[in-house]
Amino acid sequence: MDSTTSSTAQDFDFLIGHWKVSHRRLKERLLGCQDWEHFEGRCHMQPLLGGLGNVDDNTLELPSGPYRAVSLRTFDPVKRQWAIWWVDGRHPHSLEPPVIGGFEGGVGEFQCEDVLRGQPIRVRFLWTDVTPVSARWQQAFSADGGATWETNWVMDFERLAGDR
């Protein structure tokens, strides 16, 4: 991702509040799998750090059983970039590398280097289709440095009635 963005500390203000989340996730990643699992969830986001950060508390209703997770985001006003961490309640002492990036033209793009099954990969989060009552988040992995991407998780957010 280009290091120059028009990002601001208000980029994620659309997400403040309570959401119903419809998940669609590949069962296996970067193995040519076409088998998707579908499940529901909930999300509640609130600002932190005087607006330079935010956190959301997530409930994910996987077919194998529910779990909780947290997204933590912080904004660097000098670099005009966000860092996003995901904390999985099933593995609360494991913190993955943050994806870094920002918003440009209404699309948020965030990337990092990571490892999957012992192999280096690139991770990308995209925020698109943002409205006051809905948004879409997508995660994709690349095993070839970003030349090609496999989208492996899509979350469609719908603001809960009466929120905001």
pLDDT in tens, 57-71: 999 999 999 999 999
* Token reading at 96: 């993955």
Length of the chain, in residues: 164
- The answer to whether the CB of 38 falls within 8 A of the CB of 63 is no
Residue 156's CB is within 10 A of a number of other CB atoms, namely: 16
Say how many CA atoms lie within 13 Å of 93 toward its Cβ: 0
* Token reading at 29: 């990643």
Could you give the CA distance from residue 55 to residue 67 in angstroms, rounded to a whole number?
17
- Residue 32 sits in a domain whose CATH number is 2.40.128.20
Containing domain of residue 74, as a range?
13-159
Mean pLDDT taken over the chain? 94
| 149 found inside a domain | yes
Out of 51-60, 71-80, 89-98, 144-153, pick the least confident. Answer: 89-98
Name the domain count of the chain: 1
Q: pTM for the full model?
A: 0.92
- Kindly indicate the confidence band of residue 158, based on its pLDDT and cuts at 50, 70 and 90: very high
| 68 found inside a domain | yes
Could you give the CA distance from residue 19 to residue 93 in angstroms, rounded to a whole number?
26
Contacts of residue 33, Cβ cutoff 8 Å, sequence gap at least 6: 26, 27
Does 2 have pLDDT greater than 60?
no
- Residue 164: helix, strand or coil by DSSP? coil
| 8 found inside a domain | no
Residue 26's CB is within 10 A of a number of other CB atoms, namely: 20
| 4 found inside a domain | no
